[in-house]
């Protein structure tokens, strides 16, 4: 059936040289005469030989793969990030092993263990959910544990530890600015809609609260937890039966739910209520009216992560910046005045 692939011995025999020479040619060593190089290359090209990655991995202890863990790939933000990471790593000759861990500790822990058994060269966590809520150090212990084996990178989250590198966007500031925009418009009843206590959600909340405090508003009573579901958010707002003239959501899906609520309630946007989403995704555009949303430069963050990661892989002694920070910017659309 599946005829065994040719190995280095076959090539050596066909080219009339030793396996060492073949190996040298394959790996681009300069210690081989041009004539033999051509001879070997001809054979390799002829029979379409590719070195066995398992054997390479056995000796070199690397198979040029990096592991990527996301809570769910269905989320647009994660998908986008994975897309950029995959592109970047591939450019550097690294393949990606993907794992979807879910949001609970057990899954994160289990998937981390599993993916580590694959002897990946590095591990990238995508999503601030992996950074925990910053309160309970124990929740991120599995990351420090993983970092003992391979360099660990976190996209959009910050975790302390040796061999752990982070890239975060300045959510606190972005959220502060968005909320300040609303308070500056005289909004008094501004909600903060969040579905988690992840690292980034916490920072967004801080920014929101800072803005409200500065405006002399109660920074706590507007903080609401909701499910990450358009209709669930809408219904939650319906049930609240409370005057609202501003909403800051931690993602566009939640913001879209808020828009539904306003539209179906006959509340005018942005006249009576202003709404700001987060991630600047297609959902913000699909919605009517289109949602003003914070863009968090996923591409920039991912490219930076790839380049810092490669720095380590190229030189195991290299110590790139432990944490890089990126700004966010609010994209103005129709839900803000």
Partner DNA sequence: TTGTATGCGTTATCAG
Partner DNA sequence: CTGATAACGCATACAA
Confirm or reject binding of residue 60 to DNA (CB under 7 A).
yes
Asked if 120 is part of the footprint of DNA (rule: CB under 7 A), the reply reads no
**Number of residues this chain uses to bind DNA (CB under 7 A):** 32
Of 55-63, 70-78, 174-182, 292-300, the segment contacting DNA by CB under 7 A is 55-63
Smallest Cα–Cα separation from 201: which of 135, 284, 286, 144? 135
Site residues for a copy of itself per CB under 8 A: 1-2, 50, 52-55, 57-58, 61, 63, 65, 68, 72-76, 79-80, 82-83, 86-87, 90, 95-100, 114-115, 117-119, 148-150, 230-231, 252-253, 256, 259-260, 263, 282-283, 285-288, 316
CA distances to 173, 181, 231, 248 from 328, in Å: 8, 15, 27, 15
In angstroms, give the least distance from the CB of 118 to DNA. 13
User: What is the three-class DSSP state of 95?
Assistant: strand
Nearer to DNA, 45 or 241 (CB): 45
Q: Which of 9, 225, 238, 332 binds DNA (CB under 7 A)?
A: 9
H/E stretch holding 262 reads helix 252-265
Q: How far is the CB of 9 from DNA (least distance, A)?
A: 6
- Binding DNA by CB under 7 A: which of 1, 2, 3, 4? 4
**Using CB distances below 5 to 8 A depending on partner kind, what does residue 271 bind out of DNA, a copy of itself, none?**
none
| Alpha-carbon span 153 to 104, nearest angstrom | 19
Q: Are 228 and 253 in contact (CB under 8 A)?
A: yes
Cβ–Cβ < 8 Å for 193, 247: yes
CA dist 308 and 286 (Å) reads 35
The partner in contact with residue 72, picked from DNA, a copy of itself, none with C-beta cut-offs of 5 to 8 angstroms by kind, is a copy of itself
Please say which residue, 114 or 285, places its beta carbon nearer to DNA: 114
d(CA 305, CA 179): 29
Q: Is 266 exposed, middle or buried (0-12, 13-18, 19+ CB in 10 A)?
A: exposed
φ/ψ of residue 275, rounded to 5:
-130, 135
The residue among 160 and 334 lying less far from a copy of itself, judged by its C-beta, is 334
Return the residue of 42, 47, 52, 337 that touches DNA, per CB under 7 A: 52
| Locus of tokens 């391979």 | 150
Residue (243 or 316) nearer to DNA, CB: 316
Could you say which of DNA, a copy of itself, none residue 316 binds, taking C-beta under 5 to 8 angstroms by partner kind? a copy of itself
What lies within 8 Å, CB to CB, of 245 at 6+ separation is 187, 188, 189, 190, 272, 273, 274
Site string for DNA, 12-51 (x = CB under 7 A): ----xxxxxx-xx-xx--xxxx-xxx-----------xxx
Q: Which does 239 bind (CB under 5 to 8 A by kind): DNA, a copy of itself, none?
A: none
């Amino acid at each position: 059936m599946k005829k065994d692939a040719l190995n280095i011995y076959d090539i050596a025999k066909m080219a009339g040289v030793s396996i060492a020479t073949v190996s040298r040619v394959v790996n681009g060593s300069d210690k081989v005469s041009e004539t033999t190089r051509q001879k070997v290359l001809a054979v390799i090209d002829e029979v379409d030989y590719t070195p066995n990655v398992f054997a390479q991995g056995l000796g070199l202890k690397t198979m040029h793969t990096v592991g990527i863990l996301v809570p769910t790939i269905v989320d647009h933000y994660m998908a986008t990030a994975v897309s950029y990471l995959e592109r970047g790593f591939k450019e550097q000759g690294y393949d990606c092993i993907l794992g979807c861990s879910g949001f609970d500790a057990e899954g994160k822990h289990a998937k981390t263990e599993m993916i580590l058994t694959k002897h990946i060269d590095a591990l990238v966590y995508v999503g601030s959910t992996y950074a925990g809520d910053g309160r309970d150090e124990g929740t991120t212990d599995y990351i420090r544990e993983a970092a003992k084996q391979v360099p660990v990178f976190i996209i959009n989250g910050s975790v302390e530890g040796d061999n752990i590198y982070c890239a975060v966007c300045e959510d606190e500031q972005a959220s502060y600015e968005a909320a300040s925009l609303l308070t500056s418009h005289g909004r008094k009843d501004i909600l903060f809609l969040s579905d988690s206590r992840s690292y980034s959600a916490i920072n967004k909340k801080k920014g929101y609260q800072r803005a409200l405090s500065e405006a002399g508003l109660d920074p706590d009573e507007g903080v609401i937890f909701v499910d990450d579901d358009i209709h669930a958010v809408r219904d939650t707002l319906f049930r609240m039966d409370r005057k609202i003239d501003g909403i800051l959501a931690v993602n566009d899906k939640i913001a879209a739910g808020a828009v539904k609520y306003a539209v179906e309630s006959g509340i005018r946007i942005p006249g009576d209520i202003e709404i700001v989403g987060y991630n600047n995704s297609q959902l913000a555009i699909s919605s009517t009216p289109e949602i003003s949303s914070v863009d968090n430069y996923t591409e920039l963050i991912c490219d930076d992560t790839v380049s810092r990661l490669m720095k380590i892989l190229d030189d195991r002694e290299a110590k790139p910046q432990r944490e890089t920070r990126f700004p966010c910017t609010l994209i103005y659309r129709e839900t803000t005045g």
